[in-house]
């Protein structure tokens, strides 16, 4: 069983890619929306949440866990790997493919405050972005929009524009979606950018990596799809977002 968690519904943007290539597995998803957003929380707080959620998923039968949250990956994946014996798959900020894709030489990165200040992101940027200019912006208010299921229309556009416009004005033609909630705002991001931009979502690469690790560990069962959805808070958005995906 594949366990997937996020601070909310964002991880479903990763699940969407996983289920494309692993359609016959059993899944369990935890939306930690009573504790959302993670983006502004301390590292210790996120580690505690990641530990509690992981314990629950393993108790329910998960034998591999996808940390479908950039912020939680940056804060907690090393601790999780030390404390639990199942394999963990985390999110990687897609700086490398974005640096290869840009024509203007400017890459925008949208992520949470927690991700942007984490060593994991800073190291990735140092490794892959020396030939391009990186401009970063917190997707201010994006997670809240997605958790409300409010991903298009005037309110979403006006909030999204405040974070996207500075990247476009700095010359970015390629934007990394460094938070798993943001792909649900992709159409709105493209609309407010006002100029063609390439959005880079690491989820397909994460899904591929998950499949390889499952193959190596003999975890692919192909014994029929199932999904069990759980949330620590109000479950409405989770159900609606999931139902819109399938």
Q: Is 90 in the site for ligand DGL (CB under 6 A)?
A: no
Could you say which DSSP state residue 140 is in?
Answer: T
Radius of gyration of the chain from its Cα atoms, rounded to whole angstroms:
17
Active-site residue, 36 included: no
Per-position x/- string for 94-113, each x denoting binding to ligand DGL as judged by CB under 6 A, each - no binding: ------------------x-
Is the C-alpha dihedral spanning 149, 210, 91, 96 positive or negative?
negative
Left (φ > 0), alpha (ψ -120 to 50) or beta: where does 153 sit?
left
Q: Which of residues 119-178 bind ligand DGL (CB under 6 A)?
A: 143
Tokens 């809240």 sit on residue:
144
CA distances to 39, 44, 46 from 166, in Å: 20, 31, 29
Q: Is 69 in the site for ligand DGL (CB under 6 A)?
A: yes
Q: Is 241 in the site for ligand DGL (CB under 6 A)?
A: no
Active-site residue, 179 included: yes
Q: Is 37 in the site for ligand DGL (CB under 6 A)?
A: yes
Structure tokens that stand for 162 in this block: 């405040």
Q: Which residue in 18, 19, 36, 89 binds ligand DGL (CB under 6 A)?
A: 36
Report CA 135 to chain centroid distance, whole Å: 19
Q: Which span sits near ligand DGL by CB under 6 A: 32-40, 95-103, 118-126, 207-215? A: 32-40
Interacting residues toward ligand DGL by CB under 6 A:
6-7, 10, 36-39, 69-71, 112, 115, 143, 179-181
């Amino acid at each position: 069983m594949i366990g997937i968690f996020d601070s909310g519904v964002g991880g479903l943007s990763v699940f969407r890619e996983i289920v494309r290539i692993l359609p016959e597995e059993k899944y369990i998803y935890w939306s930690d929306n009573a504790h959302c957003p993670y983006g502004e929380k301390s590292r210790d707080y996120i580690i505690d949440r990641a530990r509690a959620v992981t314990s629950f998923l393993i108790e329910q039968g998960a034998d591999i866990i996808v940390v479908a949250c950039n912020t939680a990956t940056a804060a907690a994946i090393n601790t999780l790997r030390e404390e639990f014996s199942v394999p963990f798959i985390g999110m990687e900020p897609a700086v490398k493919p974005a640096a290869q894709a840009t024509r203007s030489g400017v890459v925008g990165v949208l992520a949470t405050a927690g991700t942007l200040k984490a060593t994991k992101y800073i190291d990735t940027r140092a490794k892959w972005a020396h030939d391009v200019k990186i401009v970063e912006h917190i997707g201010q208010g994006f997670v809240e929009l997605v958790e409300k299921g409010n991903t298009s229309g005037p309110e979403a556009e006006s909030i999204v524009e405040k974070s996207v416009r500075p990247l476009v004005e700095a010359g970015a033609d390629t934007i990394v979606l460094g938070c798993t909630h943001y792909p649900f705002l992709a159409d709105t991001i493209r609309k407010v950018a006002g100029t063609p931009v390439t959005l880079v979502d690491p989820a397909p690469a994460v899904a591929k990596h998950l499949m390889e690790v499952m193959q190596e560990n003999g975890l692919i069962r192909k014994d029929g799809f199932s999904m069990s959805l759980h949330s620590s808070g109000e479950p409405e958005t989770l159900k609606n977002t999931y139902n819109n995906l399938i």
